[in-house]
């Protein structure tokens, strides 16, 4: 599951996407390093729980952390405020555990139905891929119960509290975390949600006084549909004209297509190159923090280009 090694041939042979090294150099010379940091999460969405419960909630959250774009948009009202996309997911689960502590338990997840999740995600519009999400929750509940006694903390311990090993263990334990594509007959490991789960649980455990997670610096970028949008806005990611036009028309890019795989692979390697360019200036910013900065940047009002649209459980 070596992400950089397995994605390198795709990066080298890409036909639809390229990474502009000069644009990365210009970015590294002008970006404010202080802005590349962990963003402050809205305090309304921070549940107060012990490390055991909080770790399980992070696992549940990241098992469902994919595909939020919908027409009309999906919005959730929680504590007097409307939330959209990813934050609507966080708000929904915060609301669920507030109403019923059973949502912290893997044994409960094992029996979750589509209707149960529809109630959790109630709001304006509908979260996409609801049936797929219900199946994933059941899978997570069954496998966590059978392998780790229903405790995500036990999985963290088995992975020696190392972020990269946590991601690999997630992929080995849960098929829905084993984010892998095939490009010209070769396996391409990406592990977006597995890696972001490792990062999220590290932040959560630090806040809750749980076990410290090490090795975050070995994580790659979390290849989704928002980072390519920010990279294109910065001129770092360049697309073949036909692909660019399809994305701007909001045409779906099929999951597993060469174009979609190249978008994700170039995301991983572009952010790696951004990390290295900063290091040449003597600035040490972990790849996952640059990822966080790009994700936040993609939501800025001056970003007018479209993100690509792919229906998938991986991101």
Active site residues: 224
Cα 56 to chain centroid distance, Å, stands at 17
Neighbouring-strand partners of residue 17: 239
Main-chain phi, psi angles of 237, to 5 degrees: -105, 125
Return the CA Rg of the chain: 19
> Are residues 73 and 84 in contact, defined by beta-carbon separation less than 8 angstroms?
yes
Under DSSP, is residue 114 helix (H, G, I), strand (E, B) or coil?
helix
Please report, for residues 32, 117, 120, 175, the alpha-carbon distance to residue 138 in angstroms, rounded to integers and kept in the order given. 43, 11, 15, 12
Main-chain phi, psi angles of 78, to 5 degrees: -150, 125
Residues in Cβ contact with 158 at an 8 Å cutoff, skipping those fewer than 6 apart: 148, 169
Residues in Cβ contact with 72 at an 8 Å cutoff, skipping those fewer than 6 apart: 124, 125
């Amino acid at each position: 599951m070596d992400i950089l090694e397995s994605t390198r041939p795709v990066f080298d042979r890409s036909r639809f996407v390229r990474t502009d090294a000069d644009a990365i150099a210009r970015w590294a010379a002008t970006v404010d390093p202080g802005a590349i940091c962990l963003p402050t999460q809205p305090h309304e969405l921070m549940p107060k729980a012990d490390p055991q419960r909080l770790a399980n909630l992070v696992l549940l959250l990241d098992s469902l952390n994919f595909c939020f774009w919908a027409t009309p948009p999906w919005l959730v009202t929680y504590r007097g405020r409307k939330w959209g996309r990813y934050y609507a997911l966080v708000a929904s689960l915060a609301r669920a555990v507030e109403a019923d502590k059973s949502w912290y338990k893997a044994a409960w997840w094992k029996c979750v139905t589509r209707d149960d999740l529809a109630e959790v995600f109630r709001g304006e519009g509908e979260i996409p891929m609801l049936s797929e999400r219900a199946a994933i929750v059941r899978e997570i509940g069954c496998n966590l119960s059978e392998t780790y006694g229903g405790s995500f903390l036990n999985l963290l311990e088995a992975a020696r509290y190392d972020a990269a090993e946590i991601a690999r263990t997630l992929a080995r334990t849960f098929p829905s975390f084993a984010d892998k594509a095939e490009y010209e007959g070769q396996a391409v490991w990406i592990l977006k949600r597995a890696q972001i789960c490792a990062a999220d649980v590290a932040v959560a455990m630090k806040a809750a006084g749980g076990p410290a997670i090490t090795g975050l610096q070995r994580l790659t970028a979390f290849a989704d549909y928002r980072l390519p949008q920010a990279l294109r806005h910065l001129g770092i990611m360049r697309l073949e004209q036909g692909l660019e036009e399809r994305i701007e028309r909001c045409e779906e890019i099929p999951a597993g297509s060469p174009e979609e795989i190249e978008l994700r692979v170039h995301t991983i390697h572009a952010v790696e190159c951004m990390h290295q360019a900063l290091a040449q200036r003597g600035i040490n910013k972990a790849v996952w923090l640059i990822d966080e900065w790009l994700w936040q940047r993609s939501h800025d009002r001056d970003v007018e280009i479209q993100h690509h649209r792919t229906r998938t459980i991986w991101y």
